[in-house]
């Protein structure tokens, strides 16, 4: 398979995500008295695998895979998939293993990346409600969600951010008249 993303661009993406991981980890460690760290090899595998998935997606689903860029939903879905799978944010030895914060940190980091990627593309800052954020983090930590499932979920979020409601506004009469 031809490489659509040059190695120097992949390294740049890795460097960006590593910097963002360090910022995220510093906040978690400060706020929750944890001693988490980022395993650079695991993060590199996550970033490389995500962009490999994006390359395959583009090859099979776009007319001009080299010229067309993927949108943030594709990046988000595949980054989340691989970050949750490779778990680049890890415990230091001696960490209290009863503390759930380190275990869910990868899902939290993945969701923070999702927000950053989508907000940059739509040029609009947004935040999930605390309940929705915790629900998503729980699902990413404890449930198996495929890349295709993540694409569907985050496409819906993306559409809602752009005020494209997936629902029709029906009156009671409209509802009765629908098959």
What is the predicted pLDDT for the residue at 92?
81
CA distance 156 to 33: 35
CA distance 18 to 132: 26
* DSSP three-state, residue 82: helix
What is the predicted pLDDT for the residue at 5?
74
pLDDT digits (tens, 9 = 90+) for 82-115: 999 999 999 887 777 777 887 899 999 999 999 9
At residue 76, does pLDDT exceed 70? yes
What contacts 131, CB < 8 A, 6 or more positions away? none
pLDDT digits (tens, 9 = 90+) for 148-174: 999 999 999 999 999 888 777 767 766
Q: What is the mean pLDDT of the chain?
A: 88
CA distance 179 to 174: 10
Confidence of residue 4 (pLDDT cuts 50, 70, 90): low
């Amino acid at each position: 398979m031809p490489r659509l993303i040059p190695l120097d661009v992949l390294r740049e993406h890795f460097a960006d995500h590593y910097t963002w991981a360090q910022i995220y980890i510093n906040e978690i460690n400060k706020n929750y008295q944890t001693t988490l760290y980022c395993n650079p090899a695991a993060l590199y595998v996550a970033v490389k695998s995500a962009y490999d998935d994006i390359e395959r997606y583009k090859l099979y689903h776009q007319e001009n895979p080299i010229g067309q860029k993927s949108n943030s939903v594709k990046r988000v879905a595949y980054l989340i998939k691989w970050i949750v799978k490779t778990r680049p944010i890890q415990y230091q030895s001696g960490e209290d293993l009863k503390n759930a914060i380190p275990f869910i940190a990868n899902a939290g980091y993945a969701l923070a990346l999702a927000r950053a990627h989508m907000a940059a593309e739509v040029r609009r800052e947004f935040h999930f409600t605390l309940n929705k954020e915790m629900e998503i983090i729980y699902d990413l930590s404890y449930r198996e969600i495929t890349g295709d499932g993540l694409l569907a979920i985050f496409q819906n979020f993306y559409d809602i951010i752009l005020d494209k409601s997936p629902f029709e506004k029906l009156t009671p009469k409209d509802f009765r008249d629908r098959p």
